[in-house]
Chains A and B, each alone.
Chain A
Amino acid sequence: MEHYKATGADHAVGLGLVGFSLLLFTYYTIWVIVLPFVDSDHVVHSYFLPREYSVILPGIAALILLLCVGTFIGIVTWKNRKSKKVN
């Protein structure tokens, strides 16, 4: 079996995913863990939403994900609702 290095699009998408998750992790960690220890009049607080949103936004994202999965299953089930006998 020949082996080539991961090419173009694969490489870019993979690195993009890694970069995105690192950014998300850093922002979220600062938001949840670092900010409470920073004085409330420090300028860094203006880059972050109120604390409640750090729980509400992931909750909404999870709901949307569930909706998408459920919709996909629903669409595929609906398209095949005439139950045929499979030999």
Chain B
Amino acid sequence: MTKLLEWLFAVSLVGVAWGLVTFDLLDFQFPAVYREVAWPMPVYLLVVFGCYSLATVGYRVATFNDCEEAARELQGQIQEAKEDLKKKGLKI
């Protein structure tokens, strides 16, 4: 089984579990508090993932050491690329 299939399988399992609780499809009649927590879960997980990504990017920006030489080299390459693309007609 490929990784994609594994992920899709796991996601659909979680999705079915979430649907069961949120829409009470099997008539378990959970206490209202647990249903209140369950229904925003997909959006909540997305927001948490977004926060984690943002924090990781921020942390790596804050701790990445400056490299003066590489920075100058990169700036030069950016200029080169811009002029090359301008010659070929692309406008940004």
Contacts and interface: CB of A to CB of B under 8 A. Distances in A.
Interface of A: 1-7, 10-11, 13-18, 20-22, 24-25, 28-29, 32-33, 36-37, 51, 54-55, 58-59, 76, 79-80, 84, 86-87
A9 B66 CA distance: 12
Contacts of A87: 88
Given A6-B64, A13-B58, A33-B44, 12 more contacts: A2-B68, A4-B66, A5-B65, A6-B61, A14-B63, A15-B62, A18-B62, A21-B52, A28-B44, A37-B33, A51-B40, A58-B46
Contacts of A18: 55, 58-59, 62
Nearest to B57: A17
A32 B37 contact: yes
B51 A25 contact: yes
A20 B90 CA distance: 37
A16 B55 CA distance: 9
Interface of chain A: mostly helix, strand, loop or mixed: helix
Secondary structure class of chain B's binding surface, majority of residues: helix
Most chain A CB inside 10 Å of its own CB: which residue of B44, B47, B92: B47
Contact of A15 (B40, B51, B58): B58
A55 B41 CA distance: 9
Contacts of B44: 28-29, 32-33, 54
Contacts of A37: 33
A4 B43 contact: no
